[in-house]
Amino acid sequence: MNKLAFSTLGTPAWDIDRILSAALEYGYNAVELRGYLDTMDMPNAEPFAPANRHATLARFADAGVSFCCASSGAVVVKNDADEVRRYAELAHDLNCPFVRVFGGTLGAVTMEEAVTNLHGFGEIAANAGVRIVLETHDSFSTGESVARLIALTNHPAVRSLWDLHHPYRQNEPFAETFGFLSASLSHVHIKNSTPEGKYCLPEEGDVPLIAMLQHLRGAGYGGAICLEWEKRWHPEVVEPEIALPAYANAVRNVLSNV
């Protein structure tokens, strides 16, 4: 059964109390960690610092809300192993299955070096009992490029994260993206945007979000579906009090009709 999640990237002004209450109010059963109040350093953010993790986990678990992904800013081509290690420890302590990483921009390193770095990330994750998800982003914005890097890396703890937005903007048909990623797909980000690049509510953009979700559901994808509302990076977009219920309703409508 799919978990419906939202990323804290969309809630930069919310404290831990509001994050949990919003999840319950809007019908989300998971949260992805990407920034908290004035910090992006989740392993040291007050509710997620080592001394407080157990209490935070217990509080969310008692409410029926889990943590689906610890979204680091680690970049494969930069070999940010220390950040991966810190986020893997955080994920382990929160019973969170995945640590998100970016591929970065090829050019400074070769594909062979990227493979070596990503394999190292996989080892770190495996040792912590979690897994890496490589997002469709940067030089790896298509399903084809992510699938190629994962195949070359050949590590059981390295999986894929399909941000539905990025491959579509690279003109990769979404059925092809899914075909490339299906063997490794473990996490999904959703959002819509206008052709001019403004993030918007699900029915307002030109990204075929509903068709993509229908394709995922029809193909048997059972992982989390996470709204990545980029309020922290784009403060002009609508408030999370509007975006979160709108996207939750859109996803639930798809899941109930497939």
Tell whether the model's pLDDT for residue 258 goes beyond 70: no
Contacts of 105 (CB under 8 A, 6+ apart): 77, 138, 139
Residue 257's pLDDT band (cuts 50, 70, 90): confident
Structure-token match 């990330």, residue found: 121
Tell whether the model's pLDDT for residue 123 goes beyond 60: yes
**Which long-range contacts (C-beta less than 8 Å, at least 24 apart) are formed by 87-91?**
87/42, 87/43, 88/124, 88/125, 88/127, 88/128, 88/130, 89/43, 89/128, 90/33, 90/42, 90/43, 90/48, 90/53, 91/67, 91/128, 91/130
pLDDT for res 256 = 86
pTM, rounded to two decimals: 0.97
Give per-residue pLDDT as tens, 19-72.
999 999 999 999 999 999 999 999 999 999 999 999 999 999 999 999 999 999
Separation CA 180–CA 235 (nearest Å): 33
**Of the candidates 131, 236, 239, which has an alpha carbon nearest to the alpha carbon of residue 187?**
131
Contacts of 182 (CB under 8 A, 6+ apart): 219
- CA count, 13 A, side-chain hemisphere, 160: 29
Separation CA 256–CA 258 (nearest Å): 6
Q: Whole-number mean pLDDT of the chain?
A: 97
Let me know: does 12 contact 231? Beta carbons within 8 Å: yes
What is the rounded average pLDDT of the residues 183-206? 96
Let me know: does 201 contact 238? Beta carbons within 8 Å: yes
Residue 86's pLDDT band (cuts 50, 70, 90): very high
What is the rounded average pLDDT of the residues 199-204? 97
- CA count, 13 A, side-chain hemisphere, 84: 32
CATH number, domain 4-256, options 3.30.160.60, 3.20.20.150, 3.50.30.10, 3.60.10.10: 3.20.20.150
